[in-house]
Homo-oligomer: A and B are copies of this chain.
Amino acid sequence: MRSCVPQDENFERRIRESFSKQNLMKTIGATLSRVLPGEVEISLEFRDDLTQQHGFIHAGVVAALADTACGFAAFSLMAPDAAVLTVEYKINLLSPAIGESLVACGRVIKPGRTLTVCSGDVFALKDGEKKIVATMSATMMSIRGREGLTG
């Protein structure tokens, strides 16, 4: 289903540079835990300042992790001068996001010159168990030649 040959052999470096410029990821304490061609994983330790009213990690944070993992998964297969933007995503929240940490895994389902379709899953790790908390499908767009948009 995937065609995961990167056009840019330095894709991991580009992704790590771009991730480090995402202030929100710093603000919420997310880290880039795995970078492969067409597959990116982002991790987050549970923090009390990221919760919603029931004490679960807020859906907005869950979605931000999955969206970012999907975006970089798409980016890993794009041309060296491309920037990536999220066109849209849909997320189903399957279980409360509680536990010691969250891991979001984004994967390319269908790469394309302009649009890349990804899917992402977010898991909560709790007491040594891994439970799916959300699943996302996303459309990413490759932008080239637009001033100021790199990475």
Contacts and interface: CB of A to CB of B under 8 A. Distances in A.
Query: How many copies of this chain does one complex carry?
Result: 4
Contacts of A83: 54
A88 interface: yes
B24 A49 contact: yes
Interface of chain A: mostly helix, strand, loop or mixed: mixed
Interface string A79-91: 0000101111111
B139 A87 contact: yes
Contacts of A52: 21-24, 68
A51 interface: yes
A82 to B, nearest CB: 13
B59 A86 contact: yes
A119 interface: yes
Given A60-B63, A91-B88, A135 B117 contact: yes
25 contacts: A23-B50, A24-B50, A24-B51, A24-B58, A52-B68, A53-B151, A54-B83, A54-B148, A54-B151, A58-B64, A59-B64, A59-B67, A60-B63, A60-B64, A63-B64, A64-B64, A87-B139, A88-B90, A88-B93, A88-B139, A90-B90, A94-B110, A95-B110, A114-B114, A139-B139
